[in-house]
Amino acid sequence: MANGSDWHHQRHIAAPAFMGERLKSYAGLMVECTKRMLQSLENAVESGQTEVEIGGYMTRVSADIISRAEFDSSYEKGKRIFHLLTELQSLCHQATRHLCLPGSRFFPSNYNRQIKSKKMEMDKLLLEIIQSRKDCVEIGRSSSYGNDLLGMLVNEMESRRIDGFNINLQLIMDECKTFFFAGHETTSLLLTWTIMLLASNPTWQEKVRAEVNEVCNGEAPSIDHLSKFNLLNMVINESLRLYPPATLLPRMAFEDIKLGDLHIPKGLQVWIPVLAIHHSKEIWGEDANEFNPDRFASKPFAPGRHFIPFATGPRNCIGQAFAMMEAKIILAMLISRFSFQISDRYRHAPVVVLTIKPKYGVQVYLKPLNS
């Protein structure tokens, strides 16, 4: 099964941007952006604000990271692209509440005009950024397309020259949108839900804090530290199980497939109920709806079988690596600087808006650990 015929090209175009020294540079960028976010939290506490809605801070820091990683030299346009993607997501969710008639997406309604307008503006911004970099190289003003993620992707596009420029350009634009979503939307929600769970489970919060302090020894987390965060990784996996960013995954059969007693013909689209799988008592036991990170220490769960952390597939796995690195760095830095507990005002109300979001936010009490 697959969800697009361009995966092969997209995997090979994107992969070089997530190897070796490039990954280390992203880790440094994440640390710097997180330091600014933590300073803003400290400023809020020093001004007398002991309770914060942590989701807003996670949204801003993840947006800052992906905008700088993807569009470093075009940061302002990158921020605008991010806002357009967020608005398009909200508009697309509105469509799930209404009955859609065949061909209704072609009607000149205000809703369709908004979607078309925002998509055109976003594509125009992406084209402007890409073309300006190509022009700079062609006239000799620059020797590269840039050191950010977009520059790496354009360089791969030019070096491979797959299928002609227009198709390549569309692949690059699709990758930019994918990484914006994986590096921002899913990550900010993962961070928000994980903080809520740790704030509600102080014993696990202390365990993870002790691990981070032991591994980092007072230093900022680096890419070499990440594989040593065993407890933090267990907590993140349990958070993703309880609140998966994607509640449903569409897949299309590229050939006839036999699944148990089911015959799935070529061309049929299948929807995988991720949320139901992650909360199945048959798979996870009677405590399937409870927070229990130890379940990931007792036995392995392969992504794509019982546990689907983000979205499976070559292209999405590349984005997933970026998102997981980002989540671990931000959580490690936050938990080593603050202790936090859930606010009395917090109302637990997960809602599905393409992803699972806290309807009323996540309010927590913060206490700096150095006070």
CA distances from 152 to 145, 158, 159 (A): 7, 10, 11
Both tokens of 79, joined, read 């921020």
Residue type, 120: M
- At 114, phi and psi to the nearest 5? -65, -45
> Across all residues in the chain, what is the average pLDDT?
81
Q: What is the mean pLDDT of residues 337-343?
A: 96
d(CA 305, CA 317): 15
Q: What is the pLDDT of residues 297-327, one digit of tens each?
A: 865 454 445 666 654 443 455 567 788 999 9
Q: Which of 34-43, 146-155, 258-267, 354-363 has the lowest mean pLDDT?
A: 146-155
Stronger pLDDT, 297 or 155, i.e. the higher one: 297
Q: What is the pLDDT of residues 182-208, one digit of tens each?
A: 667 788 999 999 999 999 999 999 999
166: which residues sit within 8 A by CB, 6+ positions away? none
Are the CB atoms for 240 and 309 separated by under 8 Å? yes
Q: Give 290: exposed, middle or buried? Use CB within 10 Å, 0-12, 13-18, 19+.
A: exposed
d(CA 279, CA 252): 24
pLDDT over threshold 70, residue 18 = no
Are the CB atoms for 319 and 183 separated by under 8 Å? yes
d(CA 308, CA 249): 10
Q: What is the mean pLDDT of residues 101-119?
A: 73
Q: Which of 76-80, 118-122, 227-231 has the lowest mean pLDDT?
A: 76-80
Domains of the chain listed by start with CATH number: 7-368 (1.10.630.10)
176 assigned ligand-binding residue = no
Q: What is the pLDDT of residues 279-301, one digit of tens each?
A: 999 999 999 999 999 999 865 45
Both tokens of 98, joined, read 């209404």
Are the CB atoms for 366 and 45 separated by under 8 Å? yes
Residue 279: what pLDDT? Answer: 94
Compute the residue count for the chain: 371
Percentage of the chain beyond pLDDT 90 is 41
pTM: 0.81
**Angle between helix 314-337 and helix 230-242 axes, rounded to 10 deg:** 120
